[in-house]
Structure 1
Amino acid sequence: MSRKKLAAAIDVGSHEINMKIVELERNEAPRVIETVRRTLAIGTDTYNTGRISQSLIYACSDVMSGLADKLHEYRINDCKTVATSAFREASNQLFAIDQIDRACGLEIKVLSNSEERYYHMLAAAEMIPDFDQMIKHGTLILDIGAGSVQASVYDKGEFIFTQNMLLGSLRIREILADLERQAVDFGGLMAEYVSGDLENYRMLEPKGTTYKNLIVLGGENHYLNRMAGKDSGAYQILGRNDFDKLYDILMLTKSDELAMERGIAADHAPLLLPAAMIIKKFMNFTGVDKLHMPVTGMTEGLLLEQAYLGGRYKLKHDPENDTISACRHLAKRFKTDRGHGQTVEKLALDLFRQTTRLHRLSSRYQTLIQAAAILHDIGKYISMSRHTYKSYHVIMASEIIGISRVEQTIIALIARYHSGPVDLEDAALSELEPQARLAAFKLIALFRLANALDTGHLHKLDGLEVEIDDKELIITLDAGREITLERWNMEKNSDMFIQVYGLVPRIKLRRRRKV
């Protein structure tokens, strides 16, 4: 009998290092075998000094070495290990990661904020019953981390908006630590501090959304549920009265008293009031009368993705749809030509799917070229002059959930070079690893053809089919009108395609049958 498939994930968080070991079975969510948690407030250094101290690097190395030994006991060779904002924001990130890698032998990936929130939301969507039904109505997901808060909005079943705020529970505590000893009303002072960022959020959040649901994610949910008299290890729903009572207790109780009298872990007790304060502000803002409080996080998201990608589990909610939906709503905010965007999107997807043997890229890159098609003209909102350059910068400055920094760069580069000359020595291209750089060139070359096929934004061409004939890529299409402009523009923009693929693209119109 074969040994059951085991998997593991480690989250090197800003306040805690968390490892989960699970068993993967077909058509079932990962089953937890063992959880290991070690409190280590790495974020305390980063948020105060901008770097991680050598003593904390040593401490982290020791913890990670112990976790590596645990993996060896289970004979698990492949463990996805990630770090978040404490490392992401540290000026000595590279040195710290290298030292820890060397000590434990585990490769640590520092996630972008978008990737970090993606995994949290992936886990929440799987844990919350009827999540897809819930998001048909206005739903705000409040993801409270140690370093920041992410507010994301769904409505009518679509992901429409996300915004990051540097209001994490540990960060607030560290920033205001000196004032705690001076202030008569520290709770009121903290509330005032939190309110400033919430006002900025009000200016940016999508208008016209009526909120029905507020989902709270975060490492403190376990303790908040317990203090509300609920099962601390399970998904809970707290009514407004339950939460208000909990909030009043936290406002009146010092952290050390929470630890001694209520059994809250001493290292988590100081973080409960900042977390509760953020929740209360958003509860009042949305006007909802209850909170959805799942107890889940990064490691669950990592392991669900591993099970999904390995073909062992089908996700209830497709996260790639959220990425594409986020791009559509971003394009809408910048008033792009929707018709042109849809036409080029279809052409680009058809080209990508029908040239798989040519480009040999995974399906993940299909998502990237689709995102680029939706966003490629976004810079025109700023100026029609050199709009491709502006599109690049808008995309790079935007938050797109589920996209890594490298992927975001590739999307932005496709938009930057969807027309006009391509600078092969562009700094952003040169900074990519060779494999990612080649993928970017392949996608740019394909996308330039797709964009050229709708030169006049008149959606003339349809029914795209491709075939390779000797040294040519023949693109067969239906045309409802004259396409001289499209032929000319494709020829003008085919240089990149010829360089990358060694084929000359040529348009061939499909003959219409006589009736």
Structure 2
Amino acid sequence: MSDTFAAVHVGSYELTMKIFEISKKNGLKCLDHIRHRIDLGSETYATGTISSRHMLELTRVLKEFSEIMKSYGVTNVQAYGTSALRETHNINIVCAQLEQRTGIKVDILSNSEQRFLDYKSIALQSTKFTELIEEPTAIIDIGGGSIQVSLFDKDKLVTTQNMKLGVLRLRQTLEHLAEGKDRYPELIAELVDSQLHVLSKFYLNDRTYKNLVIIDDYMSPVFQKISSPGYDKGFITSSDFDKMLERFSRMSNDYIAKELSISTEYVTLAYISGILVKRITVALMSQLLWAPGVTLCDGIAYEYAEKKKYITPIHDFEADIIACGMSIAKRYGGSKSRARTLESIALPIFDKTKKLHGLGHRERLLLELSTILHDCGKYISLMNMGFCCYNIIMSTEIIGLSHRERSIVANVVRFNHEDFLYFDDSPDCYKGLTRKDYLTIAKLTAILRVANALDRTHNHKFKDVSVTVKDDEVQILLDTTSDITIEKGLINNRASFFEEIFGVKPVIRQKRLF
């Protein structure tokens, strides 16, 4: 059994569609790849709007995509818009018009969701991806509006940071300066090195990242045509890369386009992207560069195939989300041992009360993140910890989470420390969230509050926790020889909210009494 799937990306500089045949036997097979150049980014980054001319062009091309889908017998389609649409002021109106005119629903990805899908696209190159991230490796995702730098080591995400140094933004700045191509390396270095210095100071800790993986629509096609001798396709050493850039700096755009068989209009963007990669290579002291030549459409297809269980994931991407949360907690002085203790209480309560809350695996992940980030706000203020936790989480990108999911985590952590605010009484608090999201926040808050009460002294008094639901009680059995007078008193204070949300009362039972 196979599925014909279409992935559509409305990007900053082009509209892309890939059509895949997906099956358990053969995995993902690309049947067609269609690209249409449309420079939305330069317009939306400058004005925050999409002109009528571009709306007509978007509509026409999406209609053509729809006809191509029919010819292939596409059974499922997923279309995403990224930063060019994300920064449009009237995005809801734009998406509604596109769906009405073309029948294609375009969903908007947050930056963290977009980058997460880009990482999944690399996983299609499974063997090389897993081998590289065992060593210190940086993944550089270069877009039109911004770049994402993610650092991996020993198969784990160390940190990820977003910087507004996208290729189209840099081109706009360079055009405004009206300087020649020969000055691009010098000017781009001045524009980006200060931000890269901050990245080095706070996150590199004098470490070098030997491997650099590049995801972009500009330089990647060049890498596919020029590789270092003795290396696989798409691989180039940093010294060979420097020589290539130096050679291109002396050539005309027309000559480069002819030599590499790429469109002339892409040459300037590819050159800017190349200089940006050069600056990052210097900052990270990378020795080997790899551009796998994948696109967001590959990541969209990978995620679809993963959800439908056509493929088995070769990398634990959820672990990267957790690693990102742990990195944030570490940055703000969070207690790793306390987070583990809270997790050891909160997750069993969640698992044993599924029939009461009706939440799924994704909400469990959000609860786990909440335990990790439960006290990040103390870095700023012990008196206003809840408020500070909320602002830190909302101001910090968590790779793989949507803005809505990040807001859920931020509110759960906030209400672990503050009085709970009800939906109808405080609509501003839940701006952008639905009533369903509000109920998720209430349920996860109730669970986290109980977990927090059981380790309020931070003394880790018990060895093990088991949870059972019996009649009108959630019985929490603690394996401990310690005095738990404080815990019993605190849980009584927290029990009322838990009982209000779930209709059952949490009670403590002690396994060992001496």
TM-score normalized by the length of structure 1? 0.93
AA in 2 matched with 1:136 = E
Distance 2:414 2:194 in 1: 35
Distance 2:227 2:283 in 1: 25
Residues 166-199 of structure 1, C-alpha deviations (whole Å, 9 max, x = no match): 1111221122213235787344323332333323
Q: Is the 8 A contact 1:420 1:493 kept in 2?
A: no
**Conserved in 1, the CA contact under 8 Å of 2:182 and 2:249?**
no
Q: 1:185 to 1:131 in 2, by over 3 A?
A: closer
1:465 aligns to what?
Answer: 466
Which residue in 1 is equivalent to 2:6? 8
Alignment of 1:283-432 (within 5 A): 283-425=281-423, 426=426, 427-429=428-430, 431-432=432-433
Cα contact 2:112–2:402 (8 A) shared by 1: yes
> By how many angstroms is 1:213 displaced?
1.2
Q: Give CA-to-partner distance per residue, 1:291-320, whole Å, 9 cap, x none.
A: 111110211111111111111111111110
How far apart, in 2, do the equivalents of 1:128 and 1:293 lie? 14
The structural deviation recorded for 1:112 is 0.8
The 1:244–1:182 alpha-carbon spacing in structure 2 relative to 1, beyond 3 Å, is: closer
Counterpart amino acid of residue 304 in structure 2: Q
Q: Identify the residue that residue 48 of structure 1 maps to in structure 2.
A: 46
Deviation at 1:229, TM superposition (A): 5.8
Moved more, 38-47 or 199-208: 199-208
Question: 1:430 & 1:45 partners in 2: Cα distance?
Answer: 28
Counterpart CA distance in 2 for 1:260 and 1:496 is 69
Contact persistence 1:48–1:174 (CA under 8 A): no
Mapped contact 1:255–1:270 kept (Cα < 8 A) = yes
Change in Cα spacing, 1:227 to 1:241, as seen in structure 2 (3 Å) is: farther
**CA offsets per residue over residues 402-426 of structure 1, 9 Å max, x none?**
1111110111111101134211134
- Count the aligned residue pairs: 509
Q: CA deviation at 1:33?
A: 1.3
| 1:235–1:437 distance in 2 versus 1, CA, 3 Å | farther
8 A Cα contact 2:466 2:477, kept in partner: yes
Deviations 1:232-290 (A, max 9, x none): xx852102332122201332234344335643213322201111001111112222222
Mean CA deviation greater in 436-445 or 262-271: 262-271
Structure 2 contact 222–260 (Cα < 8 Å) conserved: no
1:152-171 correspondence runs (5 A): 152-171=150-169
Which amino acid in structure 1 is aligned with residue 379 of structure 2? Y
Amino acid at match of 1:66: E
> For 2:354 and 2:66, how far apart are their aligned partners in 1?
39
SS at match of 2:127: coil
Query: Which deviates more, 27-36 or 338-347?
Result: 27-36
Question: In the alignment, which residue of structure 2 is the partner of 1:118?
Answer: 116
8 Å CA contact 1:128–1:235 kept in 2: the answer is no
Alignment of 1:195-344 (within 5 A): 195-226=193-224, 228=226, 235-260=233-258, 262-344=260-342
Give structure 1 stretches of 5+ with no counterpart: none
Is the 2:18–2:30 contact (alpha carbons within 8 Å) kept by the matching residues of 1? yes
Aligned to 2:57: 59
Name the CA distance, whole Å, in 1 between partners of 2:17 and 2:181: 38
SS class of match (1:106): coil
Question: CA 1:235–1:433 in 2, change beyond 3 Å: closer, same or farther?
Answer: farther
Superposition deviation, residue 35 in structure 1:
1.4
With over 3 angstroms needed to count, the CA separation of the structure-2 counterparts of 1:174 and 1:128, relative to structure 1, is farther
Q: CA deviation at 1:458?
A: 0.9
Q: Which residue identity is paired with 2:461?
A: K
Residue 501 (structure 2) pairs with residue 503 (structure 1): no
* Paired residue type of 1:459: H
Q: Which amino acid aligns with 2:337?
A: G
Aligned to 1:487: 488
Which moves more between the two structures, 271-280 or 133-142? 133-142
State the Cα distance separating 1:322 from its structure 2 match: 0.5
Pick aligned residue for 1:132 from 124, 130, 133:
130
Q: Report SS of the residue matched to 2:408.
A: helix
- Residue in 1 aligned with 2:436? 435
- Supply the distance in 2 between the matched residues of 1:99 and 1:230 (Cα, whole angstroms): 47
Per the alignment, residue 477 of structure 1 pairs with 478
Say if 1:8 and 1:80, in contact at 8 Å, map to a contact too.
Answer: yes
Distance in structure 2 (CA, Å) of the matches to 1:29 and 1:458:
50
Structure 2, unpaired ranges of 5+: none
Secondary structure of the 1:176 match is helix
CA 1:169–1:457 in structure 2 vs 1: closer, same or farther (change >3 Å)? same
2:43 maps to amino acid: D
| SS of residue paired to 2:501 | helix
CA distance in 2, matches of 1:82, 1:309: 17
Q: Could you tell me how far apart the structure 2 residues matched to 1:203 and 1:447 are?
A: 35
TM-score, L = length of structure 2: 0.93
After superposing the two structures, state which structure 1 stretch, 100-109 or 318-327, moved more: 100-109
Q: Is the 8 A contact 1:29 1:304 kept in 2?
A: no
**CA separation of 1:500/1:295 partners in 2, compared to 1, >3 Å: closer, same or farther?**
same
CA distance in 2, matches of 1:176, 1:98: 35
Question: Cα distance 1:87–1:504, how it changes in 2: closer, same or farther (>3 A)?
Answer: same
**CA-CA distance at 1:108 after TM superposition:** 1.3
Equivalent residue for 2:101, pick from 65, 90, 103: 103
Q: 1:461 to 1:429 in 2, by over 3 A?
A: farther
Cα offsets for 1:179-226 (capped at 9, x unmatched): 235787344323332333323333332314232211111112443225
SS class of match (2:214): strand
The one-letter amino acid of 1:176's match is L
**Aligned-partner residue type, residue 444 of structure 2:** L
Q: Quote the offset at 1:472 in angstroms.
A: 2.0
- For the pair 1:150 / 2:151, whether they are aligned, the reply is no
- State the distance in 2 between where 1:414 and 1:348 align: 13
With over 3 angstroms needed to count, the CA separation of the structure-2 counterparts of 1:97 and 1:220, relative to structure 1, is: same
Q: Is the CA contact 1:228–1:242 (under 8 Å) kept in the aligned structure 2? A: no
Distance 1:15 1:384, change over 3 A: same
Moved more, 249-258 or 466-475: 249-258
Aligned amino acid, residue 432 of structure 1: L
Shift of 1:81: 1.0
Structure 2 vs 1, CA of residues 254 and 442 (structure 1 numbering), >3 Å: closer, same or farther? farther
Percent identity over the alignment? 30
Contact 2:227 2:233 in 1 (8 A): no
Deviation at 1:6, TM superposition (A): 1.5
Which amino acid counterpart does residue 201 of structure 1 have in structure 2? L
Partner of 1:192: 190
Question: What is the rounded CA distance, in whole Å, between the counterparts of 1:93 and 1:257 in structure 2?
Answer: 40
Output the amino acid matched with 1:359: H
Q: Which moved more, 1:421-430 or 1:103-112?
A: 421-430
For the residue of structure 2 that corresponds to 1:336, the secondary structure is: coil
Aligned with 2:119: secondary structure? helix
Contact 1:17 1:38 in 2 (8 A): yes
| 2:23 is aligned with 1:22 | no
